[in-house]
Chain A
Amino acid sequence: MDSQIIEVLNVTRETAWLPWAVSYFFLIGLSYGSFMLTLPYFVFGRAQHEKLGRLALLGALACGLTAPVALLADLHGPGRFLNFYLHFQPQSWMSWGSFFIPVYLGGLLLYAWLALRGDFALRGQGGDSLPARLYRLAGCGGAASRRAISAAALLTLVGAVLVALYTGMEVMVVHARPLWNTPFLPVQFAATAFVGAIGLALLFNRLVGDRDAELETVLNRLLVLALAVVLTLGGGWLFVSMSGVSPAHSAAFNQVAGMPQWQLTAVWAVLATVLPMALALWRPASSGLITGLIAVHSAWMMRWTIFIGGQSIPKTGAGLYDYHLPLGADGLLGIVGTLGLWIALLLLLLEYLPWAGAAFAAANKTNALAANAIASH
């Protein structure tokens, strides 16, 4: 017999993983994605990718250094992070993550230092001021050997893969939330992280770099590829969900398929993938600002939808929990604050890190030393 049920009274469980978590997953994804983009130049010595390598290194550092701050803020008491290291729990992905993050970030800092050692030495040339001496100290006599850079890159790569693995698995293993409990999720996180990283590089090329049309074309082509992967994954998710091949995916699909707000989200996600693809193909040399913005937005929205949207689905109750973004630290202020920290870090890096090398300062004759140093490895 048909029945209609109206929930009159029940508890609304608040979102427990706050926008801080979205910020962390977003930034760490952008960071490891950007790190991968640095490899062609700094490790494989492809000179034509120098600008990309240097801009991406900037992105990897700014995002990588900001991400853990957002993560700590989500703990409702930052000093508590010590307990992660005092009470290791091998059965918990989050516990493993607390060890993977320092591996990745430690590796990234070491890699960035070695990759830019020649540039540090160069900036320290001439003069006996304190900054010059500090730069000379950081330069350690000149460019690092390619072997050293490659070893640091390998360590960072291992860290990046482990971070990508744990961030995906940590969410995927939550059986209580069908939307999260899908084997596709970790791969989707990684794929959208690369989309975001390419988007960030496109934006940096316009806003930090010298609007290199050639680089914009390369990045837009790469973006099309990455978006094609995201689209394929989305199609695969839909196929295994609707065909019944995977009960876990069907459970996820069935939980949200009938809800108008989730249908809108799906349309939004498809548009945010197809639109930049079309733009990047149509105007690869001039659409970078827009495609970059949409790509970064896609990476953020994917995580927002998974975390905040996922938590608004009650596990036992009817309907959906209402989520209204709080204006304070648990909401908007937290997001804006994280963005502010990211911008501040970026400005510091731009000002004090010899990130640009010779690539963006061709007029500067003294950069010949750096060019030689780079050419030697």
Chain B
Amino acid sequence: MIQSRRNFLRALPAITAGAALAPAPAIASAPGEDGGKHRWAMVVDVQKCIGCQACTVSCIMENAVPENSFRTIVSTYEVHQGGHSGTYMLPRLCNHCDQPPCIPVCPVGATFQRKDGVVVVDGDRCVGCAYCVQACPYDARFINHETGKADKCTFCAQRVDAGLLPACVETCVGGARIFGDLNDPNSKIRHLVDQNKMKVLKPEMGTQPHVFYLGLDERFQGRVDGAGTLWQPSGHGA
């Protein structure tokens, strides 16, 4: 028993090195701007999320998100119903909408949508006016205190362009985040979207989000009607 455990531990570095060298699993085709060949999207399987916040942390590490700011987070709720209590987890991030309301308001054209659907901010042009922050119906944008400019989830465009998965997807323990190309008929995400009844957040806004939720409770689809958050970051600003 002890011997076998030692053997296992001894073999661990080899296993992890192998995993690191293995090709990226989900994005096989050429990355980057490609004339609209790809349409990146995400499916969040709510029932698989365990609320570990590994995605939150990996996003911060990958994208150098400043303290008390978040590009993604797993909103966590306590739900009491019919004498039972439970916890509800809802991963939130930029929805990379097809009709993103953050883009037309930008007074300098700093925020734009790439041909592969990813909504990004040109940091050189952004003036930090925060108009896009106001226009986003999902509270997905914020002003980065270190740059003084608009910041948001980019689906880890730098990783996707290099053929890798977004950091949050890579680190998701329960496999709740599925990322891929909707334009690829053989992709897992295409199958999932075609074969399941997907929901999006705030569909009435007409933004056509491209983060789809599997098993989303309607009570959490819009602004949540409940008691306010018990934890708030404190630090810069408000």
Contacts and interface: CB of A to CB of B under 8 A. Distances in A.
B75 A87 contact: no
A176 B78 contact: no
Contacts of B88: 5
Given A8-B77, A8-B231, A318 B226 contact: yes
Contacts of A321: 232, 238
A175 B75 contact: no
Interface footprint category on B: 35 or more
A352 interface: no
Nearest to A91: B104
A175 B101 CA distance: 8
A322 B135 CA distance: 20
A198 B138 CA distance: 40
Interface in B91-128: 92, 101, 104-110, 125, 127-128
Contacts of A94: 105, 107, 129, 131
Contact of A12 (B78, B81, B125, B233): B233
B105 A77 contact: no
A74 B130 CA distance: 9
A316 B230 contact: no
Contacts of B87: 8
A3 B75 contact: no
Interface stretch (A13-21, A36-44, A293-301, A340-348): A13-21
B142 A16 contact: yes
Interface in A310-338: 311, 314-324, 326, 330
Interface stretch (A52-60, A78-86, A155-163): A78-86
Contact of A84 (B108, B201, B238): B108
Given A3-B80, A89-B108, A8 B229 contact: yes
A177 interface: yes
A274 to B, nearest CB: 32
Nearest to B231: A9
A208 B58 CA distance: 60
B159 interface: no
Contacts of B105: 92-94, 173-174
Interface string B207-238: 00000000000010011111111111100111
Interface residues of A, number: 57
B79 A4 contact: yes
B128 A76 contact: yes
A237 B227 CA distance: 28
B228 A319 contact: yes
Given A5-B224, A6-B78, A9-B230, A315 B136 contact: yes
Contacts of A14: 142-143, 236-238
Contact of A315 (B79, B110, B139, B229): B139
Nearest to A322: B232
Given A75-B127, A95-B108, A324-B238, A7 B227 contact: yes
Contacts of A76: 128, 143, 148-149
A98 B127 CA distance: 12
A1 interface: yes
A335 to B, nearest CB: 14
A5 B217 CA distance: 12
Contacts of B104: 91-92
B227 A6 contact: yes
B77 A319 contact: no
Contacts of B237: 14-15, 18, 326, 330
B137 A176 contact: yes
A39 to B, nearest CB: 31
Nearest to A87: B108
Nearest to B224: A318
Given A6-B230, A175-B205, A316-B138, A16 B75 contact: no
Contacts of A173: 105
A13 B134 CA distance: 11
B214 to A, nearest CB: 18
Interface of A: 1-18, 74-77, 80-81, 83-84, 86-87, 89, 91-95, 97-98, 170, 173-177, 180, 311, 314-324, 326, 330
Interface of B: 70, 73-82, 87-88, 92, 101, 104-110, 125, 127-131, 133-139, 142-143, 148-149, 201-202, 205, 219, 222-233, 236-238
